[in-house]
Amino acid sequence: MVSEKIVPGLEARSETVVCDHNIAQHVKKFSTPSMIHLMEKAASTALEPYLNGGQVSVGYEVKIRHIAAAPLGATIVATAEVTEVFRNRVNFNINAYNGETKIGEGTHQRAIITPRP
């Protein structure tokens, strides 16, 4: 059973600093896979306090656009906002920012499951 507290409007954020381990080596800028990871982390963080014993959330779809570069040393903030809940599936709008500049946007879907041992 999914918590009734998981509702549209629920939000969370996650942040990181651009460094050698999260850049695209050929351009020395924040990589798209790192941005997706940060966006998924924000979505997962939004759900964590509301999961029932043994439940986890797993991502099953990400649709994003990486629209601007971010250099080494930049602080990137990803946000996730619940837009829809249907049974055990939760839809999010996700964004990533370097300061006031939006560097990524899209949608993300997660499912709340109870893994079998």
Residue 6: both structure tokens together: 């998981």
The amino acid present at 1, given as its one-letter code, is M
For the question of residue 37 being annotated catalytic, the response is no
Q: Which residue in 16, 40, 79, 108 is the catalytic one?
A: 40
Distance, CA of 69 to CA of 78 (rounded, Å)? 14
Q: Which residue in 15, 26, 66, 84 is the catalytic one?
A: 66
For the question of residue 66 being annotated catalytic, the response is yes
- Going by C-alpha positions, the residue among 80, 67, 99 that lies closest to residue 40 is 80
- H or E element, residue 93: strand 89-98
In angstroms, the first-to-last Cα distance of the chain is 18
Distance, CA of 81 to CA of 92 (rounded, Å)? 5
Q: Which residue in 4, 16, 21, 32 is the catalytic one?
A: 32
Instruction: Please list the active-site residues.
Output: 32, 40, 66
